[in-house]
């Protein structure tokens, strides 16, 4: 055997690498913050914020401030106790340096002096942020002095120094994400605002301020504002009107450039004395609440603090959010199980006790199910406990078995008292649940009819569906188009091997305000359900999805936008996992065709059209340019539709995701719900952003 090969196969102690200090974090950042993408970047802020929230949950802090500065710098301040700076008996260094440079070092693992409850990422938070920052400055206010220490990539740059005096306590932590690790370092203001708003709701009595001092945060907005101001000035100049009104208007729109950055929101402050009860009211702001103010209970039992707030609305969907030590648990867990058991039992007990039955049924003849009592429910369940046991690294589910009984006891007792003390609210809730029960039985009958008919017909696909020949769902796609005209062009232009087409007639039912039985009475919706192949309601099985890409293709006008919104509402309310799995797309057909010699070029925006025209005129200034504006897909012949919108090699598809599920839910409720005022405000707020409006 070759000598070189022999040497390379030697496996001894010399091959073992020992990473010291925070080196493991820099070597494998994904293990600690999930990755170095945009989510991981923001996780740095959450980890530093968590330390301040822990102080607030312990009753030591009531003010937190986050500031975004230029050069990707973030400052997080709190008025808590301040990180200790005295010498640590184990590390031999100051407690501040120990916490900042050692994994699993902090006040969350000790005895009497540690936090009673805490969040954070397994207690490694601030040291991980330090390791992943090119610069980190920790400043501590305590004992009348300001202590400071600097770090770079997790390593100490300077010792703990006294840099001034102070009359308060707290911690100021300034960090800059390392460009060597994070390809994108621009923080999203709205992401931080949303997270901080939620934390303020969950920690009542704490004030959280977010300030954005970055000048580069909205360059496109600033440039557009400059252009709008210039355009308005030119219009006024052209009118040559000397009237005082126009003169005043001209003065108003001449905004100095150094003040332009102040014309859009840059600072937010959140403070909620009502805590999660205020959170429920916020979530229901676009809905009609049946019990307002919301039901709320806060009680500590067996060293576990339980907070529950709920309100019923005239909606048909449930919106329940659970938290453990302020950490969102999207998969629920024991606290959710306990809450649901208590809710179902309490409402059924009240139904029997009150003898109220608006349906005319004999007393006690109806037993409400969990689904019945949760229709239209908006609820928040928040527990705080010393030793939370989360299932999985992402903390998606709370596993502490003792929490189930505690939450069930606290919630059940409080609901029984609430219904006795608030009979009007109790009556409205029971009416809602009884109506839900009747609708459930009607929906089940309608669903069974649809499914039974499909089974008898051998699961016959809708007659209007032009299916593809490929049977592997991973390779197929379904185009949903409006009208027979567009449907005809699409069917002729498609690749029949993997592209299916389902034309819809007119606008489908707005499912935001429709139960399942009413939905299944719509032929268009039934066609959609059967074409997808995954069932509906309780029978959904996403593994049976017949197409990996579901592409909504509508006209570029108001009606097309409305149909697109109706379809998105239908999918979001009935098949939310399609968004999580990346199955929903929106086709991007061109708005213009511009002939260039014997070739036809296409433009998808006004800007692209203008660039094409400029290119043509640069070659031939006197060119006679004929531009066609497409108002409908039916105006394109099959070949054009394939070339521009359906050919995978050239088309542009917009994938629709649900990363901001809460915001999406609120927008759907606002735009598609019954309440007019929230929709009117939304339209007034965003009307100026609308382009290419064809009525």
592 DSSP β-pair partners: 603, 629
Determine whether domain 276-442 maps to CATH 3.30.230.10.
Answer: yes
Among the listed residues 555, 643, 665, 666, the single catalytic one is 555
pLDDT at 10: 57
Domain boundaries, the chain: 23-212, 219-265, 276-442, 461-589+655-689
Percent of the chain beyond pLDDT 70? 77
Task: Choose the catalytic residue: 315, 482, 524, 643.
Answer: 482
Give the pLDDT mean for 340-367.
76
The pLDDT, as a whole number, for residue 419 is: 93
Average pLDDT over residues 688-695: 50
Res 41: pLDDT: 95
Residue 223 is a catalytic residue: no
pLDDT tens per residue across span 134-157: 999 999 999 999 999 999 999 999
Confidence at residue 203, expressed as pLDDT on a 0 to 100 scale: 93
| pLDDT above 60 (res 192) | yes
Q: Which of 152, 123, 127, 125 is nearest to 137 (CA)?
A: 152
Cβ count within 10 A of residue 516: 21
End-to-end CA distance of the chain: 80
Reported confidence tier of residue 68, pLDDT bands at 50, 70, 90: very high
At 478 the pLDDT is: 96
The residue-averaged pLDDT of 563-574 equals 87
Tokens encoding 73: 């710098």
**Residue of 688, 644, 683, 646 lying closest to 667 (CA atoms):** 683
Other C-beta atoms lying within 10 Å of the C-beta of residue 85: 20
Is residue 559 part of the annotated active site? The answer reads: yes
In the set 62, 298, 413, 559, the catalytic residue is 559
Residue 664, pLDDT above cutoff 70: no
CATH number attached to the domain at 23-212 = 3.30.565.10
Q: What is the pLDDT of residue 339?
A: 98
Residue 553 CB contacts under 8 Å (≥ 6 apart), including other chains: 479, 480, 481, 486, 490, 586, 587, 589, 633, 645
Per the prediction, the chain carries an average pLDDT of 81
- Helix/strand/coil (H/E/C) assignment for every residue in 586-644: EECCCCEEEEECCEEEEECCHHHHHHHHHHHHHHCCCCCCCCEECCCHHHCCHHHHHHH
User: What is residue 522's predicted lDDT score, i.e. its pLDDT?
Assistant: 84
pLDDT of 414 above 90: yes
CA-based nearest residue to 192, from 49, 30, 327, 32: 49
> What is the edge-to-edge ordering of all strands in the sheet holding 628-629?
599-603, 592-596, 628-629
Q: List, for residues 194-237, the tens digit of each pLDDT value.
A: 999 999 999 999 999 999 998 754 555 555 555 555 555 544 44
Residue 482 designated active-site:
yes
Q: Is 673 helix (H, G, I), strand (E, B) or coil?
A: coil
Provide the sign of the torsion angle of the four alpha carbons 452, 453, 458, 462, taken in this order: negative
- One of 557, 635, 675, 694 is an active-site residue; which one? 557
The pLDDT value recorded for residue 458 is 40
pLDDT at 34 over 90: no
Helices (H) and strands (E) counted in the chain, each on its own, are 23, 24
CATH (one of 3.40.50.670, 3.40.710.10, 3.30.1950.10, 3.30.160.70) for 461-589+655-689: 3.40.50.670
Q: Which of 6-20, 119-133, 377-391, 441-455 has the lowest mean pLDDT?
A: 6-20
Q: Three-class SS of residue 174?
A: strand
Task: Work out the average pLDDT over 298-323.
Answer: 93
Backbone angles phi and psi of 564, in degrees to 5: -60, -40
| Stated pTM of the model | 0.69
Chain mean position to CA 584: 16
Q: Is the pLDDT of residue 634 over 60?
A: yes
> Would residue 557 show up in a list of annotated catalytic residues for this protein?
yes
Do residues 31 and 23 make contact, with C-beta atoms less than 8 angstroms apart? no
Distance CA 295, CA 300 (A): 17
């Amino acid at each position: 055997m070759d000598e070189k090969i022999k040497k390379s196969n030697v496996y001894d102690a010399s091959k073992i690498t020992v990473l010291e200090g925070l080196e493991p974090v820099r070597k494998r950042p994904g293990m600690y913050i999930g990755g170095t993408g945009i989510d991981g970047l923001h996780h740095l802020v959450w980890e530093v914020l968590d330390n301040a929230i822990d102080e607030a949950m312990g009753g030591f802090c009531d003010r937190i401030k986050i500031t975004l500065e230029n050069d990707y710098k973030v400052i997080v301040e709190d008025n808590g106790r301040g990180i200790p700076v005295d010498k640590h008996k184990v590390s031999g260094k100051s407690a501040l340096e120990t916490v900042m440079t050692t994994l699993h070092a902090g006040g969350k693992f000790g005895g009497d002096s540690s936090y009673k409850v805490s969040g954070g990422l397994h207690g490694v938070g601030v040291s991980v942020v330090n390791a992943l920052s090119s610069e980190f400055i920790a400043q501590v206010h305590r004992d009348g002095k300001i202590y400071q220490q600097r770090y770079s990539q997790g390593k100490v740059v300077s010792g703990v120094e006294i840099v001034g005096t102070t009359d308060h306590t707290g911690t100021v932590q300034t960090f800059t994400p390392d460009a060597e690790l994070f390809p994108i370092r621009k923080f999203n203001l709205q992401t931080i605002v949303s997270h901080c708003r939620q934390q303020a709701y969950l920690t009542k009595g704490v004030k959280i301020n977010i300030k954005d001092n970055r000048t580069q945060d909205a360059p496109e907005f600033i440039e557009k504002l400059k252009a709008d101001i210039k355009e308005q000035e030119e219009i006024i100049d052209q009118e040559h009107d000397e009237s005082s009104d126009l003169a005043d208007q001209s003065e108003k729109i001449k905004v100095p450039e150094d003040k332009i950055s102040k014309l859009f929101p840059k600072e937010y402050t959140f403070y909620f004395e009502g805590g999660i009860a205020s959170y429920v009211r916020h979530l229901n702001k676009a809905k009609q609440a049946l019990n307002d103010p919301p039901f709320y209970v806060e009680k500590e039992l067996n060293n576990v603090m339980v907070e529950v707030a709920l309100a019923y609305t005239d909606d048909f969907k449930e919106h329940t959010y659970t938290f453990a030590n302020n950490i969102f648990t999207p998969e629920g867990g024991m606290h959710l199980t306990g809450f649901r058991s208590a809710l179902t039992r309490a409402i059924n007990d009240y139904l029997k006790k009150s003898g109220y039955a608006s349906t005319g049924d004999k007393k006690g003849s109806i037993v409400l199910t969990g689904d019945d009592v949760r229709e239209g429910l908006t609820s928040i369940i928040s527990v705080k406990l010393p030793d939370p046991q989360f299932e999985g690294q992402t903390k998606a589910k709370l596993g502490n078995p003792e929490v189930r009984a505690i939450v069930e006891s606290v919630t059940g007792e409080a609901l029984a008292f609430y219904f006795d003390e608030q009979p009007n609210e109790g009556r409205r809730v029971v009416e809602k649940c009884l109506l839900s029960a009747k609708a459930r039985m009607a929906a089940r009958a309608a669903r069974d009819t649809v499914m039974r008919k499909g089974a008898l017909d051998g699961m016959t696909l809708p007659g209007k569906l032009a299916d593809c020949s490929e049977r592997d769902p991973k390779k197929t796609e379904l185009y949903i188009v409006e009208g027979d005209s567009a449907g005809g062009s699409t069917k002729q232009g498609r690749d029949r091997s993997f592209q299916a087409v389902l034309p819809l007639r007119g606008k489908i039912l707005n499912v935001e305000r429709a139960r399942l039985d009413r939905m299944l009475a719509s032929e268009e919706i039934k066609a959609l359900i059967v074409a997808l192949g995954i069932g509906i309601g309780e029978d959904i099985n996403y593994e049976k999805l017949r197409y990996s890409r579901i592409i909504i293709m509508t006209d570029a006008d108001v009606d097309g936008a409305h149909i697109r919104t109706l379809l998105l509402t239908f999918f979001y309310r009935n098949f939310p996992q399609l968004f999580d799995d990346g199955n929903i797309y929106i086709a991007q057909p061109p708005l213009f065709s511009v002939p260039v010699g014997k070739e036809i070029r296409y433009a998808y925006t006004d800007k692209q059209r203008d660039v094409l025209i400029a290119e043509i005129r640069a070659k031939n200034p006197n060119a006679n340019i004929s531009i066609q504006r497409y108002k409908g897909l039916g105006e394109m012949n099959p070949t054009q539709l394939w070339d521009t919108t359906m050919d995978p090699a050239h088309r542009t598809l917009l994938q629709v995701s649900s990363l901001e599920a809460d915001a999406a839910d609120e927008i759907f409720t606002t735009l598609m719900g019954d309440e007019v005022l929230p929709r009117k405000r939304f339209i007034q707020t965003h009307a100026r952003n609308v382009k290419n409006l064809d009525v």
